[in-house]
Amino acid sequence: MKRTIAVLPGDGIGSEVMAEALRVLKFIAAKFGHEFETKEGTVGGAAFEKFGSHLPSETLELCSASDAILFGSVGGPINEMHKPKWIDCERNSILALRKHFRFAINLRPARIYPDMIGISPLKASVIKKGVDIVIVRELLGDAYFGKHNSFERDGKRVATDESEYTEDQVKTAAHAAFKTARQRSKHLTSVDKANVLTTSRLWRQVVHEVAQDYKDVEVSDMLVDNCAMQLILDPGQFDVIVTSNMFGDILSDAAAALPGSLGLMASASLTEAGFGLYEPPGGSAQDIAGKGIANPIAQILSTALMLRHSFALTAEADAIEAAVESALRAGYRTGDIYDQSEKQDGKRLVGTTEMADAILHELENHCAVKKKEKGSLATV
């Protein structure tokens, strides 16, 4: 297969973790006989420095001419937010990209394998069943894209963010969620705040209308505050969660903490036609940027999602996911998932590149085993 990929490393840890993801991609291309042409573009603060814009037209053109977008992260250090380079950086870059290409659906899987519960901050008794959740987040509605306003009234400052949902936006998210649930355990939880918000009442109505097309999927509603609590008390009850943009942003960070770190969470943003942008939702982590200690797993797993969703390369995506799992099982830990108390059981604190080395090593093993299996099947 021959594909062109727009690579946008962005800010902070973006370029470090992207470099490792590209090594994995290169390995997959060589092993499975694909040609992935990667073309790098600038975005965020990095683009602002070079072009005076957080999303230069060169970058948009590059993305339009590509088969998928592999995105790193954008945003500046908290204490530099007042600098022009960082003012409105996220709105002007990643949110503008989502809007421009109409990335309406965002998939965020969070998973802990039952024998790796040691890396979760939750008690083993709470996650004994393991955790395997996909959050389907609506990505183009809500307060994110409503009018933002700040003004003075009676001499006091006031700020407003308008939140809007159309029934079509909810329908799109609901269809994506029901389809995802259908491929898994056929259990969908729709999360809203229908006891207070009008947008949530519309959300709930439309989700149940769409449910008529998916009678094999069991759907239940949950209020967002309760969902936040349930994710910590009993995450094993969830399979697929569908929710609005803002709730999805918050709940997906909470869900990412279950496996131990945002550094393990990948995401896919998809248009209705299947064009995709793949990014780790963990942010630019400026506090650890440039130190070689960031966890590359989220970026590597986002690359696997790209292979699966944009290119339908299931075996390749499975191979990467299995290699990540094996590297974690073998005890490799970046700082974000390293627990001092585990030192005795042979866990190894490693940097960004060493973690990717471990994954590449496991990938090599995985491919060798698969080749052997295929060979032996062929001789049967």
Shortest Cβ 169–ligand IPM spacing (Å): 15
Site residues (CB under 6 A) for ligand IPM, limited to 278-307: 281
If DSSP codes are grouped into helix, strand and coil, which group holds residue 104? coil
- Strand positions, DSSP E, the chain: 2-10, 35-40, 68-73, 105-112, 131-138, 148-153, 156-161, 187-192, 218-223, 240-243, 268-270, 276-278, 332-333, 348-349
User: For residue 28, which of 374, 375, 379, 363 has the smallest C-alpha distance?
Assistant: 363
Does 90 engage in binding with ligand IPM (CB under 6 A)? yes
Residue of 221, 253, 318, 357 with catalytic role: 253
DSSP string for residues in 27-51: HHHHHHT-EEEEEE---THHHHHHH
Q: Cβ–Cβ contacts within 10 Å for residue 286, how many?
A: 19
Q: Which of 225, 291, 343, 372 is catalytic?
A: 225
- What are residue 138's DSSP bridge partners? 105
Binding partner at 293 among Mg ion, ligand IPM, none, C-beta below 5 to 8 Å by kind: none
Binding to Mg ion by CB under 5 A, coded x per residue (else -) over 230-269, reads -------------------x--------------------
Assess 239 for contact with ligand IPM (CB under 6 A): no
Contact partners, residue 132, CB within 8 Å, separation at least 6 = 109, 110, 111, 112, 239
Choice among 11, 132, 142, 144 that is catalytic: 144
List 17, 28, 94, 231, residue binding ligand IPM (CB under 6 A): 94
CA 185, 191, 195, 197 dihedral sign is negative
Closest residue by beta carbon to Mg ion: 249
Q: Does the annotation count 161 as an active-site position? A: no
Q: Residues binding Mg ion: what is the number (CB under 5 A)?
A: 1
Interface with ligand IPM, residue 161, by CB under 6 A: no
Residue 142 contact, options Mg ion, ligand IPM, none, Cβ 5-8 Å cut-off depending on partner type: none
142 near Mg ion (CB under 5 A)? no
* Identified catalytic residue from 11, 142, 192, 249: 249
> Are 277 and 103 a contacting pair, CB within 8 Å?
yes
Number of residues that bind ligand IPM (CB under 6 A): 5
Which lies closer to Mg ion via its Cβ, residue 253 or residue 325?
Answer: 253
The binder of 316, among ligand IPM, Mg ion, none, by C-beta within 5 to 8 A per type, is none
What is the distance between the alpha carbons of residues 73 and 53, in angstroms, rounded to a whole number? 16
CB atoms within 10 A of CB 74: 30
CB of 348 to ligand IPM, least distance (A): 30
The residue number with the shortest CB distance to ligand IPM is 90
94 binds, among Mg ion, ligand IPM, none (CB under 5 to 8 A by kind): ligand IPM
C-alpha neighbours within 13 Å on the C-beta side of residue 91? 10
Q: Cα(209)–Cα(215) distance, rounded to whole angstroms?
A: 11
Least distance between ligand IPM and beta carbon 244 (Å)? 12
The minimum distance between CB 249 and Mg ion, in angstroms, equals 4
Does the protein bind ligand IPM through residue 249 (CB under 6 A)?
yes
Whether 154 is a known active-site residue: answer no
The one-letter amino acid code at 70 reads L
Q: Does 142 bind ligand IPM (CB under 6 A)?
A: no
Count Cα atoms within 13 angstroms, Cβ side, for 377.
Answer: 6
Catalytic residue chosen out of the listed positions 11, 132, 142, 193 = 193
Check binding of 8 to ligand IPM (CB under 6 A).
no
Alpha-carbon span 318 to 308, nearest angstrom: 8
Residue 378 beta carbon to Mg ion: minimum distance, rounded to whole angstroms: 47
Q: Confirm whether 144 is a catalytic residue.
A: yes
| Whether 253 is catalytic | yes
Indicate if 225 belongs to the active site: yes
Q: What is the DSSP letter of 72?
A: E
Binding site for ligand IPM (CB under 6 A): 90, 94-95, 249, 281
> Among all residues, which ones are annotated catalytic?
144, 193, 225, 249, 253
Binding site for Mg ion (CB under 5 A): 249
